[in-house]
């Protein structure tokens, strides 16, 4: 299956078990690219797992592949999911809803990957990888949680995200 996108990219993908949609600070180009969305719809209907990390969930929401499912996304973008009423945002680092698995922000991607390994293989293998990676985060400033960080810092980060991706926060269904 080959698709040529509006951006000129050629998407050619053999059948895989896992569709993983990654993130970016502003995924509006992918959301607005009808060829990317159509490709993901087609591929997503045949794959065993539909997954995303961070704002990749916004792209999946646009495809309709998250309709009726719960998902995570980066906290600063959660409001964008309100434009997709069939999708339920869950404020967790990793959300598993049947065959949909999503991770919140960038560092939640590690938690997501370990969860996916446990799902595909087993818990022991995921624990092995966690130890191999020496995954034991200890953030130096303890401001990585939007529920516990200083209020002004959270406002500043949200303002920066809105500057980076203003079109994401506008309801595109109204034209």
Tell me which residues are annotated as active site: 54
Contacts of 134 (CB under 8 A, 6+ apart): none
Q: CB count, 10 Å around CB of 151?
A: 7
Q: Give the H/E segment covering residue 60.
A: helix 56-63
- Crossing angle of helices 56-63 and 34-44, rounded to 10°: 80
Number of C-beta neighbours around residue 77 at 10 A: 25
**DSSP character for 53?**
E
The answer to whether residues 54 and 109 touch, using CB atoms and an 8 Å cutoff, is yes
């Amino acid at each position: 299956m080959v698709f040529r996108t509006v951006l000129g990219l050629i998407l050619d993908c053999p059948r895989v078990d896992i569709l993983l949609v990654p993130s970016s600070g502003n995924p509006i180009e992918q959301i607005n690219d009808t060829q990317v969305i159509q490709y993901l719809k087609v591929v997503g209907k045949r794959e065993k797992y539909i997954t995303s990390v961070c704002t990749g969930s916004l792209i999946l929401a646009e495809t309709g592949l998250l309709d009726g499912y719960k998902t995570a996304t980066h906290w600063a973008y959660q409001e964008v999911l309100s434009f997709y009423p069939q999708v339920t945002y869950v404020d967790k680092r990793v959300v598993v809803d049947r065959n949909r698995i999503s991770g919140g922000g960038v560092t939640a991607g590690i938690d997501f990957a370990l969860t996916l390994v446990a799902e595909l293989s087993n818990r022991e293998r995921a624990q092995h990888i966690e130890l191999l990676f020496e995954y034991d985060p200890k953030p130096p400033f303890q401001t990585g949680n939007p529920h516990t960080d200083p209020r002004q810092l959270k406002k500043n980060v949200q303002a920066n995200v809105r500057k980076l991706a203003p079109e994401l926060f506008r309801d595109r269904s109204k034209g």
